[in-house]
Structure 1
């Protein structure tokens, strides 16, 4: 199987708060990040995100408050989900 990814993934382990419009706040850990998105590890109890959903995300534990970003669920797997960064100028 060839890797057709356009962006290089960089391993990154940080806490990420995800705010879901129905399920509320979830604290998860990232596995890696790229220019266009982030992969987060989620246990079975938290795997309630569906393809195409938009959520808000904010990195936790930084010395300054991180920006709140809109993320789209683009991949759902047993270990976690892939989230794509949604730019401000994109329609939701």
Structure 2
């Protein structure tokens, strides 16, 4: 198997707000998370970023506001997008 992942993924379903500079603001569910990033499930939303686009992501539904994280779109599948934590 040709799995190039550097980090172990953990299944996690959470609501996250994703903001893209030109596409706008969306709320999606996550499928998994790792030390390197998160996978968001996109169903029926007009969200079509390009690989390399930057977004901000914030977990929703917590008792206090979660931090807003800078992320980069690194992968697209039929059901969503892989986002990588932006080291900058």
Query: Normalized against structure 2, the TM-score is what?
Result: 0.93
- Give the distance between the partners of 2:46 and 2:82, measured in 1 at CA: 14
Following superposition of structure 1 onto structure 2, how do residues 46-61 of structure 1 map, counting pairs within 5 Å? 46-61=46-61
Query: Any idea what the Cα deviations from partners look like across 1:33-90, whole Å, max 9, x if unmatched?
Result: 0001000000243331110000111000011110000010000111100000012xx2
Q: Once superposed, what is the RMSD of the aligned Cα atoms?
A: 1.1
Give unpaired runs (5+ residues) of structure 2: none
- Count of residue pairs the alignment pairs up: 88
Give unpaired runs (5+ residues) of structure 1: none
